[in-house]
Amino acid sequence: MAFAIKPWLGLLFFAAYAVYFWREIRGGGEHGDGEELAPLLLQRRRATPATWAVITQTLVTLAVIFVASQLFVHQLDTIGPMLGLPAAVTALLLSPIATELPEIMNAIIWVRQGKTSLALANISGAMMIQATVPSGLGLLFTPWRFDIVLLISGIATMIAIVYLLGLLGAGKFNAKTLTVAVVFYLAFAASLVPVLT
């Protein structure tokens, strides 16, 4: 299926992230209270780093992320044919692991250090940017026509969301019930076997 209003939806995704970003920046002071952050790498001996150092380190970090993401995408293009899978299917199966695992590890480290609010802010920010920016870019710059694989992926995601919202509503959101959500990912992966064969 193709949608005539698809480019406008892409812009809507960017607008949603802009609103989220603006609201977080405006109310961000309260989340940072009491959190002891490591010193800036460029100015380790200063408690409050200079603005130029913050901007420089941020830009260098973004450049490293950009280069690493390019490398990751090229590797997916190579791995897919080696496994006998289309690139889109390889991305659907492997990208969540590669993108979410670092966020989970950060959250675990920060929770163990007692920085719970920082861990939650990191996860919510990562989820928001991944839900809006890549989707907006895809809607703007790719045909993004639904095939059976994307449809199955969307259905599995919606079922998982309903399950998680049900846990939150029932007050049963804990490590054990959250772990059950991996079943939806495994079911999605298993459902691709008959489709691809």
The residue behind tokens 């809006």 is 132
User: Does 60 score more than 80 pLDDT?
Assistant: yes
User: Does 34 score more than 60 pLDDT?
Assistant: no
Percent pLDDT > 70 in the chain is: 91
Q: Which of 34-38, 119-123, 145-149 has the lowest mean pLDDT?
A: 34-38
If pLDDT is split at 50, 70 and 90, which confidence band does 2 have? low
Name, of 46-60, 79-93, 106-120, 182-196, the range with top average pLDDT: 46-60
Q: For the chain, how many residues are written?
A: 197
User: Does 13 score more than 70 pLDDT?
Assistant: yes
pLDDT of residue 63: 94
- Per-residue pLDDT, averaged over 14-29, amounts to 85
Please indicate whether residue 195 or residue 119 has the higher confidence score (pLDDT). 119
pLDDT of residue 181: 87
pLDDT of residue 1: 55
User: Does 32 score more than 60 pLDDT?
Assistant: no
pLDDT of residue 72: 82
* Spatial distance between the Cα atoms of 106 and 126, rounded to a whole number of angstroms: 11
Q: How many CA within 13 A on the CB side of residue 84?
A: 4
The residue behind tokens 């998982």 is 160
The reply to whether the predicted model has a pTM over 0.85 is no
164, 171 Cβ separation under 8 angstroms: no
* Spatial distance between the Cα atoms of 59 and 105, rounded to a whole number of angstroms: 23
pLDDT in tens, 126-168: 888 888 988 888 888 887 777 787 788 889 889 999 998 998 8
pLDDT of residue 82: 82
